[in-house]
Structure 1
Amino acid sequence: MKRLGCVVGLVLALSAAAALFFSGAVLGEATIDEETPFVIPAGASLSAVAQDLESAGLITSADGFLLSARLFGNADPIQAGEFSLSPGMSQREILTAFQSGDVVRRFVTIPEGMPSVLVWERVMAEELLTGEVDIPPEGSILPDTYAFERGQKSSVLIEQMQAAMDLYLAEAWAKRSPGIAVDTIREALILASIVEKETGTPGERRAVAGLYSNRLRSGMMLQADPTIIYPITQGKPLGRRIRQSEIAQVNGYNTYTMLGLPEGPITNPGRESIAAVLNPEKHDYLFMVADGTGGHEFNATLEGHNAAVERWFQLRRDRGEIE
């Protein structure tokens, strides 16, 4: 009985050794020593991927990897994209990762109020994106955070940003308040871009939108400083005070020398500024000036506004910003 037990034990040991030999010599093994990116191109076959894995030194045998896939894997197709292969992963785990489509995603953030020229610069600076793209039309990009993959075309990412804007505009327009001062989605987008640039205080957006809506209805010039700057810098910071000659400049954007809205957006407004224009605060304000806290003081009369302007100038004199 004891001898029989020894024989059984020997058989099991030999079987295990044979299995190990078969696994290592025939099926091969993964040899990942550190976190390694691996890209599967669109349309790549499993055979081609196995060859790439072997060439990169991530497995010992492409043929063994394919045999292991046939013996132990399932019929799910592999997915294209970039994968992160970790130390200690087995061949079966590598295959499972490829089939699951758990690709590495990277992100680019477009802040509210970023003009299209700066969106273009940010996208072009992403080294893992491919291809050139023109500067997108102003106002066509929805500020948000977007995912992309290594090797993705820059144009595809821009199209994703524009599709998001189109979708949000359509949804927001359908929920607009009755009697607003703009008649079209395009006009709403233009006015929202002005609201976006005029205040950095979220709680003021609806008040600012209401003020400009009042001016549009009453036939007053909007007189929004950012509309002076846009033709000069295409939305980039001016970096200095506006000159009197620039205030008097006649063009399609300067709302100090024209009635109504500019000919186009002056930046890419965010969701909140668009929503503010489509549901503005109801009040009788026609004027506003900075209040020194990052916000604005609003007034319904020119007399009240002039007094607020004087307070603002006095505050700046007290701060030593002006003489």
Structure 2
Amino acid sequence: MSRPRKHGSVARGSVVRVLSALLLLSLLAVAAAGFWAWQRYEVFADTPLAGLQAGDSVVIERGDSLPTVLSRLRQAGVREGSEYEWRLLARQLGAASRLHVGEYALMPGISPRELLVAMRQGDIIQYRFTLVEGWNIRELRAALGKVDTLKHETSGLDAAALMSALGRAGEHPEGRFLPETYLYSRGDSDLDLLRRAYAAMEKALAAAWEQRDPDTGLKTPYEMLIMASIVEKETGIASERPQIAGLFERRLKIGMRLQTDPTVIYGIGKDYDGNIRRSHLTTDTPYNTYTRRGLPPTPIAMPGVGALDAVAHPAPGSALYFVAVGDGSGRHLFGDSLAEHNANVRKYLQNYRQRMRDTQPAKDAP
């Protein structure tokens, strides 16, 4: 009896080997494609975005999805990466559903990974607004009105409406906002910033009042605020503030008029043209401390912490008069008596005239 032939088995074995080889090749191709895609993804994730300029930014608004954010990035000039790559990277970083509202800097050199991490962490752009010591409320509101990164909610509000909007109806706004630098983000409003500055002044004033010298003649924290605003406007020299505060304290205690020009200027208001005249000193207004005794009815500017501290701790002494040195330094000469003051005034005039001569351009020789 003859044996069966194995031609069928051999054929089936050949087919299996071929299929195995094809499968292996397919797996290798898939692996290679996957490796290539992963390499491309890694390059995408960590390569700086091209074409960005200093100052470029993108805004995420409440309710924005990742595709919406990506659309905004495209509008800002970002071309790198497919939506799939951005989605994959966002999932990998845990940022897909945790993008914080705000404005983000598209700094030259930033990579997709760095940008999404910033959005996940809420590293939004912070702007600065500096409230300058000695500004009055008109100057403060004018400066706020020029800031285009703030929402303007106080435009058109008069002083009374402004304070009502801040929850301080009936208060005068002058002097109520603490001079310092405030950080804010796009979308904040001028009212938000003023609310913070008001709270900062309340805190600073309360601290100064709590720490004041026990023999002060000031009766309330508001009187301290008024006095500090006058000291703020009288000198920009920090070391002189306690001297001037002490001088004004002594004048108040003996019933002597303060006779301070900045209060007169404040009473003139918008009509002040930069020159104070004798007629201004003799025209009575609630702020004319040449015609009225005591403090003016409100502050005349926004005093800083230094002025508040000077009024809380005025320097001892006997001086009742002061006048500018006249040399352009901003310093003052102090005198105990009117005779000494008049002598200091003569020194001021001499120094002033000399400074004018020194600053005049030299004439060409004939």
- Shorter-chain TM-score: what band? 0.7 to 0.9
Mapped contact 1:54–1:61 kept (Cα < 8 A): no
- Structure 1: how far apart are the matches of 2:315 and 2:109? 60
The residue number in structure 1 matching 2:57 is 37
Q: How many residues matched?
A: 311
Matches within 5 A, 1:78-157: 78-87=99-108, 89-133=110-154, 134=157, 137-157=173-193
Matches within 5 A, 1:169-180: 169-180=205-216
Equivalent position amino acid for 1:262 in 2: P
User: Kindly, what percent of the aligned residue pairs are identical?
Assistant: 38
Q: Secondary structure at the match of 2:177?
A: coil
The yes-or-no answer on 1:73 pairing with 2:73 is: no
How far 1:89 sits from its partner (Å)?
A: 4.3
Q: 2:306 aligns with which of 239, 258, 272?
A: 272
Assess, with a 3 A threshold, how the Cα gap between structure 1 residues 107 and 71 changes in structure 2: closer, same or farther.
Answer: closer
- Structure 2: how far apart are the matches of 1:23 and 1:182? 74
- CA deviations 1:174-201 (Å, max 9, x no partner) are 2111111211111111001111111122
Q: Secondary structure at the match of 1:163?
A: helix
How far 1:305 sits from its partner (Å)?
A: 1.5
Query: Higher mean Cα deviation, 87-96 or 8-17?
Result: 8-17
- CA deviations 1:184-229 (Å, max 9, x no partner) are 1111110011111111221110000000000011111101011111
The residue number in structure 1 matching 2:239 is 203
How far 1:68 sits from its partner (Å)?
A: 3.4
Equivalent position amino acid for 1:275 in 2: D
Structure 2 unmatched ranges of 5 or more: 1-23, 163-172, 358-366
The residue number in structure 2 matching 1:3 is none
Q: Secondary structure at the match of 1:108?
A: strand
CA root-mean-square deviation:
3.1
Mapped contact 2:228–2:308 kept (Cα < 8 A): yes
Q: Secondary structure at the match of 1:107?
A: strand
Assess, with a 3 A threshold, how the Cα gap between structure 1 residues 12 and 185 changes in structure 2: closer, same or farther.
Answer: farther
Assess, with a 3 A threshold, how the Cα gap between structure 1 residues 167 and 46 changes in structure 2: closer, same or farther.
Answer: farther
Matches within 5 A, 1:1-323: 15-21=31-37, 32-35=50-53, 36-54=56-74, 56=76, 58=78, 60-62=81-83, 64-73=85-94, 77-87=98-108, 89-133=110-154, 134=157, 137-233=173-269, 238-240=273-275, 242-293=276-327, 294-319=330-355
Q: Secondary structure at the match of 2:292?
A: coil
How far 1:303 sits from its partner (Å)?
A: 2.0
- Structure 2: how far apart are the matches of 1:56 and 1:83? 12
- CA deviations 1:29-67 (Å, max 9, x no partner) are 785431431111245344543443355553544454334
- Structure 2: how far apart are the matches of 1:52 and 1:319? 59
- Structure 1: how far apart are the matches of 2:25 and 2:147? 60
Assess, with a 3 A threshold, how the Cα gap between structure 1 residues 233 and 71 changes in structure 2: closer, same or farther.
Answer: same
- Structure 2: how far apart are the matches of 1:207 and 1:88? 53
Assess, with a 3 A threshold, how the Cα gap between structure 1 residues 274 and 43 changes in structure 2: closer, same or farther.
Answer: farther
Q: Secondary structure at the match of 1:196?
A: helix
Rg bigger for which structure? 2
Assess, with a 3 A threshold, how the Cα gap between structure 1 residues 199 and 22 changes in structure 2: closer, same or farther.
Answer: closer
The residue number in structure 1 matching 2:165 is none
Query: Higher mean Cα deviation, 158-167 or 42-51?
Result: 42-51
Q: Secondary structure at the match of 1:38?
A: strand
Assess, with a 3 A threshold, how the Cα gap between structure 1 residues 88 and 15 changes in structure 2: closer, same or farther.
Answer: farther
Assess, with a 3 A threshold, how the Cα gap between structure 1 residues 41 and 139 changes in structure 2: closer, same or farther.
Answer: same
Mapped contact 2:174–2:298 kept (Cα < 8 A): yes
Assess, with a 3 A threshold, how the Cα gap between structure 1 residues 64 and 222 changes in structure 2: closer, same or farther.
Answer: same
Mapped contact 2:93–2:117 kept (Cα < 8 A): no
Assess, with a 3 A threshold, how the Cα gap between structure 1 residues 123 and 305 changes in structure 2: closer, same or farther.
Answer: same
Q: Secondary structure at the match of 2:52?
A: coil
- Structure 1: how far apart are the matches of 2:134 and 2:185? 25
Equivalent position amino acid for 2:73 in 1: L
Assess, with a 3 A threshold, how the Cα gap between structure 1 residues 88 and 203 changes in structure 2: closer, same or farther.
Answer: closer
Query: Higher mean Cα deviation, 97-106 or 221-230?
Result: 97-106
- Structure 2: how far apart are the matches of 1:296 and 1:130? 42
Equivalent position amino acid for 2:197 in 1: M
Structure 1 unmatched ranges of 5 or more: 1-7
TM superposition score normalised by structure 1:
0.84
